[in-house]
Structure 1
C-alpha cells in the first residue's frame, strides 16, 4: 500500500508588501491635492472598487471611482512604498447626479497617479480603526494623498469569512484548498527547497493533483495570503 504524503502550510509575504493591501477591497473616501481636500461625491451608481492585484509576480493597482486609474507597480523591498512604472486611465463620461463634481473627482484620481513620470514613488500606510481600515497613499514628490476605506468588517460576507482549509492531509492522490483569494502565487516545495509545483490560485476551491509526488513531506506556501 502506498504511503501517504503529508503537507505543511506556510503563508508568506515579500518584504515591502503588506498582505492587507491584497486582502481588502478599497473605496476612495477623499483626495488631498495641494492641501485642498475633496470628499468623494455621491453618484447614482456605486463607487468603483480599488484593488491591488498580483498577476504571476507582476503587480498592479487599480484606483477606481467612476473611472479607474490603473498603474503597473513595483514594491520596495525595504519601505512601505511602491514605484509606478506605467498605466492609464479609463475615459467613460458620467452624466448622472453630481456630474460636474464626479467628473472633476475622476480627473483628480487620474492625475494623482498618471500625472507623473515613470518611476514616481508612492508611500502607503494602513490605519486600523475600531471597525474598519483606512489606506493612505502619499505621492512622495508632492505630499498629495488619497484615502481609501475598506469594507472588510462592514459586510455580511466578510463577517462570516471562512478559514483556510487544506485536505485530505495526509494524502496520496490530490489535495483540496478552500477559501483563498484569486491570483496569489502558490508553490509546493520539498524539504530541500526544490519547487515541484507552482501556479496562481484560481478560485476559493482549488484541487491539486499530487499523485506523481514521491512519498514524503512537502511545504505548500501561498504568497501574500493572510491565513
Structure 2
C-alpha cells in the first residue's frame, strides 16, 4: 500500500484538499442556514417541533437516493455534491440550534431587554453566545457526517477521496483495488479527525470562559 501511496501522493494530496474544502464550505453554509432558520422558529414550539421532525426525517433519506433525485436538477458534478452535502449538514445543526436557543434562560433575555438591548442585540450578545456550545456540538456531528456524504458524492463525480473508494469497489479482484479502497477510506477518516480537532479548538476560542466552566 505504501508503494501505491508513493506513486499517487500528488493526486492524494490534491483530492484530500478537495474533499476537506468541500466539507468545510458546505458545513459553513449549512451553519448559516440552520442558525438562521432556528432564530425564526425557536420561539414557536409547534414550528420548532416541526423543524426537529423535518431534521429527523431528512436524516433517514438514503444519500444515494438523494443524489439520484438531484441529477436531473443539477446534473453530474460538483453542484450536485454541494447540494447533497449541504442538505445533510444542515439537519443536525438545525436541531441543535433550535434546542440551544430554546434552552437560554428567559430571565437573561428579559434582563438584557431591561438594560435597553434591542431584539437583534439581545440575540447576538446573549442568546447566540449562550446557545453556541450546543450549536457547535451539532456542527461537529455535521462535519463528521459530511465527510462520509462527500465520499459517497463521488458517485456523481463529485470532488474528493470518494473516487478512490469507488475505483477500488469497481475493480474488486484487480491488482490495486484493495489499496485504492483502503487509501480512500483511511484518508476520509484522517480528514474527519483533523477537522474535528480544528472544530474543538475553534469551540474553545469562540466560547467564553464562563460558559465553558
Q: TM-score, normalised by structure 1?
A: 0.23
Higher strand share: 1
Higher helix share: 2
